[in-house]
Structure 1
Amino acid sequence: MTDLRCLRKEMMLFLRMTAPAGIRRLTDVQVTPGVPLFKSWIFYLGFLPLDYSHITLLSLAPGQGFVEQSPMASMRSWLHEREILAHPSDPNLVVLRDTLTFEPRFFAGLATWLVRRLFTHRHAVLRREMGGT
């Protein structure tokens, strides 16, 4: 959940996000709620500059979840809550829930479709990598 290599794997082939040299995990940086950790450039298809984000966490509980509210060039507002919850019927499984609240600066319908598609892809990658259902 905090490993940037895993985050990149979730997003490829659609997007690639950068981080400063030496930062491999979000926990490599002092997390102060509401204070940006670093600026991340976002590249479409891995090489076309698309956007940037000032990665900002409101909370981080490794193994449980995080709340991210990162200013982005393309969004008036962006709030991403990720929770890792106990599976209701199988103690060997977990439920990953991403809740997104955002307001695009332009092309709201297209932006909403793209974000939905990206997170559908991210969850498919996680299921494949973790052997989930």
Structure 2
Amino acid sequence: MKRTWTFTQTSEIPAPMAAVWDRVVSPEGINDELRPWMTMSVPRGAEGITIDSLEIGPPIGRAWLRLFGVLPYDFDRLSIAEVEPGRYFREESTMISMRRWTHQRRLEPIDDGRTGVTDTITFSPRLGMVLAGPLLHRVLPALFRHRHRRLAAHFANDG
């Protein structure tokens, strides 16, 4: 049975790279992308952080995932493994449901001041969740398509 899954989502965002980067590394931007389906808390003691201001490597704590922004259902033991400020980050985390969660986000400039955003997700459900892998491999790409639509809409409405 397959235990590790990967997918990629790429979109063009109608904004310059610096503005997109500032949005995608902030807790406010991350939660806006996830709404209304879910939100993610900031770990205790990490208020005011952004992904590019975190120390590389050690976990920063538990970021609770909340269904509809209210009901906690999982947590992300969040670690940033790599950052190229303004261009790229790689999150390597574990969750209650995942023994491995890797989220890579890359930004690239496109003509006319637009930005290409590519997310690559690799995940391995914990043993009790392995049978959920095929379902998660359908649900999680849908969530990331939603995130990209929300990100694009933020800048389309901003203009």
* TM-score relative to the length of structure 1: 0.87
| Secondary structure, counterpart of 1:13 in structure 2 | coil
Matched, 1:7 2:34: no
Unaligned runs of 5+ in 2: 1-23
Q: Per-residue displacement from partner, 1:69-128 (whole Å, max 9, x unpaired)?
A: 0111111211110000122xx141110000111112211122222211110110000110
Segments of 5+ residues of structure 1 without an aligned counterpart are: none
The one of 65, 69, 85 equivalent to 1:42 is: 65
> What CA RMSD, in Å, does the superposition of the two structures yield over aligned residues?
1.9
Greater relative contact order (Cα < 8 A, sep 6+): 2
Match of 1:104 in 2: 125
Matched, 1:74 2:86: no
Q: Is the 8 A contact 1:2 1:62 kept in 2?
A: no
Structure 1 match to 2:144: 119
Distance 1:22 1:40 in 2: 10
Give the structure 2 partner of residue 86 of structure 1: 109
CA distance in 2 between partners of 1:62 and 1:122 (Å): 21
Q: Which whole-Å CA distance do the structure 2 matches of 1:126 and 1:22 have between them?
A: 23
1:94–1:53 CA distance, 2 compared to 1 (3 A): same
Moved over 2 A (4+): 24-30
User: d(CA) in 1 for partners of 2:46 and 2:95?
Assistant: 23
TM normalised by structure 2 equals 0.74
Q: Which amino acid aligns with 2:123?
A: F
Higher normalized helix content (fraction of residues)? 2
Percent sequence identity is: 28
Q: Can you list the C-alpha shifts for 1:44-83, whole angstroms capped at 9, x where unaligned? A: 1111221001110001223111000011111121111000
The structure-2 alpha-carbon separation of the partners of 1:82 and 1:22, relative to structure 1 and needing over 3 Å to count, comes to closer
Amino acid in structure 1 at the alignment position of 2:115 = V
Compared CA separation, residues 59 and 28, structure 1 to 2 (3 A): closer
Greater Cα offset, 119-128 or 90-99:
90-99
